[in-house]
Structure 1
Amino acid sequence: MKDKENTKRKLIKAVGEVIKVEGFQSLKISKISQYANVDRKLIYRYFGNLNYLVEAYILENDYWMVFSNQMKQMLVDKQFAGSEQLITEILQNQFKFFASQKEMQRLILWELSVDSPLMKSIHNTRESMGQEFLELTDPHFDNGNVNFRAIAAILVGGIYYTILHTVYNGGKFAGIDLNTNTGKEDILKAIGQIVSWAYKHD
């Protein structure tokens, strides 16, 4: 059983290494088994097929998958005064996480550029997790003038696009240099300000 788990860990880790070094287009059974230094038949034995192996990797590494349970527990432990503080923390952490994770940047690019049932499934899982947090904000905005879900959509999309644009096309966006700590802090501050404005102007 221990050997099985070790091999599964090797294969999942190898997926990330292939993505980082060669990109998603190189995710093939032969390539992953080569990086993991294990027999390719073990991918079928332990995961069924390539898609389930890639899915296992994404479930362990995607921001919304990684931090969903952690954030829920923090809420249970009353580490947040309310939904404004919680959603601000979630969005700011998303920015920091995505800016530092090359594999996840490539994942989103892949998700946007291919027609893949696997990517649709991952998107739907991520969306359902995001909905759980947005439901916490709904009571504050009921019968108000602010559609916070629309604001959250723009913020999440903006985080992805801003980081991807600067990574692949240069370090600046709207004159802000995201390669510097000052630039990153400016974006984090702006996320908090937008959420705060939404809560104050409801």
Structure 2
Amino acid sequence: MKDKEATKRKLIDAVGVIIKRDGFSTLKISTIAKVAEVDRKLIYRYFGGLNHLIEAYIVENDYWLLFSEKMKTMLEQKEFTGSEQIITAILQNQFSFFVSQKEMQRLILWELSADSPMMRSIHNARESMGQKFLEMTDSHFKESKVNFRPIAALLVGGIYYTILHTIFNGSSFTDMDINSEEGRQSILVAIEQIVHWAYIGAQ
């Protein structure tokens, strides 16, 4: 059993190594087995194939799938005073996580450019997690003219695009360098301000 778990760990880690080095498009059974230094047959034995191995890696590393569990714990421990603070923390943590995780940057690029049933499945799981958090805001916006969901969509999409654009096409975006501490901090402050404005607008 220990050998099986150790081999599975090697294979999942090998996926990460290849993504960091070459991107998702280069993931192949033979390449992963070579990096992991195991027989390629074990990928089929332990994961059933390439897609399930990649999925196992994504589940371990995707922000929304990871952070949802962390947020459940934080909610149980009552670390937030209300839904505004919860949503702000989620979006700020998403930015900090995504700006530092090259594998997830490549994942989103792959998700946007590939017609993949597996990626749609991951996207749907991510959406399901996000929906649970958005439901926390419903009571605040229910009787107002503010629809928070498109605001959240623009914030999430803006986080992805700003980071991907600056990393792959240049260091600055709207004259901000998000590779600098000052630039990253300005984004975090802006996220907090936009969420707050939405909440104030609904009062």
Range of TM-score over shorter length: over 0.9
Q: Could you list the per-position Cα deviations for residues 164-190 of structure 1 after superposition, in whole angstroms to 9, with x for gaps in the alignment?
A: 000001110001111110000000000
Match of 2:75 in 1: 75
Gaps of 5+ in 1: none
Q: Could you list the per-position Cα deviations for residues 115-171 of structure 1 after superposition, in whole angstroms to 9, with x for gaps in the alignment?
A: 000110000000000000000111110021111011000000000000000000111
Match of 1:26 in 2: 26
Match of 2:192 in 1: 192
Q: Counterpart of 2:79 in 1: which secondary structure? A: coil
Percent identity, aligned pairs only, is 69
Tell me, in whole angstroms, the C-alpha distance in 2 between the residues paired with 1:179 and 1:153: 24
Q: How does 1:137-148 map to 2 (within 5 A)?
A: 137-148=137-148
Q: Counterpart of 1:120 in 2: which secondary structure? A: helix
Tell me, in whole angstroms, the C-alpha distance in 1 between the residues paired with 2:160 and 2:89: 16
**2:99 corresponds to which letter in structure 1?**
A
Match of 1:2 in 2: 2
Number of residue pairs aligned between Structure 1 and Structure 2:
202
Q: Could you list the per-position Cα deviations for residues 86-126 of structure 1 after superposition, in whole angstroms to 9, with x for gaps in the alignment?
A: 10000000000000000000000000001000110000000
Match of 1:154 in 2: 154
Match of 1:175 in 2: 175
Tell me, in whole angstroms, the C-alpha distance in 1 between the residues paired with 2:171 and 2:195: 25
Q: How does 1:121-140 map to 2 (within 5 A)?
A: 121-140=121-140
**2:100 corresponds to which letter in structure 1?**
S
CA apart distance, 1:39: 0.4
CA apart distance, 1:25: 1.1
Q: How does 1:94-105 map to 2 (within 5 A)?
A: 94-105=94-105
Tell me, in whole angstroms, the C-alpha distance in 2 between the residues paired with 1:200 and 1:80: 18
The structure 1 segments of at least 4 consecutive aligned residues displaced by more than 2 Å after TM superposition are: none
Tell me, in whole angstroms, the C-alpha distance in 2 between the residues paired with 1:46 and 1:97: 29
TM-score normalised by the chain length of structure 2: 0.99
CA apart distance, 1:73: 1.2
Q: Counterpart of 2:156 in 1: which secondary structure? A: helix
Tell me, in whole angstroms, the C-alpha distance in 1 between the residues paired with 2:74 and 2:179: 30
Match of 1:36 in 2: 36
TM-score normalised by the chain length of structure 1: 0.99
Tell me, in whole angstroms, the C-alpha distance in 1 between the residues paired with 2:115 and 2:39: 29
Match of 1:89 in 2: 89
Q: Could you list the per-position Cα deviations for residues 7-60 of structure 1 after superposition, in whole angstroms to 9, with x for gaps in the alignment?
A: 101100100111111111110000000110100000000000100000000000
Match of 1:57 in 2: 57
